[in-house]
Amino acid sequence: MSALPPLGQLPQYQVYRAVSAALDEDLGQAGDITTLATLDWSGKPNYADAAIVARASGRIAGLQFAEAAFRSFDHDARFGVMIDDGGDAEAGDIVARIRSKDRALLTAERVALNFLCHLSGIATATARYVHAVEGTGARICCTRKTTPGLRAFEKYAVRAGGGMNHRFGLYDAVLIKDNHIVAAGGIANAIERARTHVGHLVKIEIEVDTLEQLDEVLKHPVDAVLLDNMDTATLADAVKRAKGAMITEASGGVTLETVRAIAETGVDLISSGALTHSSAALDLSLDFGPT
């Protein structure tokens, strides 16, 4: 696959806020009672070396969260990244090395891995979809079907996988769906009202599921059309009709097995909610001791 552009970093305040909430959930009112009960707290803290190791191959995303979790208990923890976000790990690879107080490693381990495994799973699934459509010109993008409270992070993971982001919420783009069309009294009414209401910088996309609806949409100025749950023959016809007039996006019934055929219709974008709501976590673990 071609090299990804630099991802940049998520805002640190967002990362630490999410990690803090996760630690509050995990520690409750009593703290880490296992670590409190098993370690010797009478002297100076002991330091330990540990490594985050990939148990399966996949795309990495979410290292900021792991580092933030360990630093929440040891500000001086050393966190050395071996494979950056957006990079690929093979089973057995060391993703990061940490030197920190042993109590910090033990208490922060699960929160660090929960974020890292989840986001790396999304990045891994996205990378597989991107690889499947390589050479077609189609781009893979996500949806708003995200875990509440984690949307910005899950969408970041999609970018780490080589995909692109759809709108982030109800506030940054207009997407007129089938129920909006019914409530507005038809396609023309929905588009006209949307165009009157939003500013010139706000994109407007409309969802259709038949060629007849698409033909009506083509009479009006919109930026993109979402071709929903069409078979590949119908989708190819729709793309041909809309080519040059607006961006085309296919959605519905997208799987790793079907995405290549969908891409070969010439559609510009393929969106999949499964990237964020159904991707399996990547198997990563924290191993103590020199590695």
Residue of 74, 109, 207, 249 marked active site: 207
Residue 80 near residue 96, CB atoms below 8 Å: yes
Catalytic residue from among 110, 139, 193, 260: 110
Whether 110 is a known active-site residue: answer yes
Distance between CA atoms of 24 and 114, rounded to whole angstroms? Answer: 14
User: What is the biggest distance separating any 2 CA atoms in the chain, rounded to whole angstroms?
Assistant: 77
Would you tell me how many other CB atoms lie within 10 Å of the CB of residue 95? 23
109 is catalytic: no
Q: Catalytic annotation on 192? A: no
Which of 205, 228, 249, 268 is the catalytic position?
228
* Residue of 55, 97, 139, 177 marked active site: 177
Which residues contact residue 197 at a Cβ distance below 8 angstroms, ignoring those fewer than 6 apart? none
Which of 55, 78, 97, 145 is an active site residue? 145
Contact 265, 235 (CB under 8 A): yes
209 has catalytic annotation: no
151 phi/psi in degrees, rounded to 5: -55, -50
Gap between the Cα atoms of 6 and 156, Å rounded: 12
228 is catalytic: yes
Catalytic residues: 110, 145, 177, 207, 228
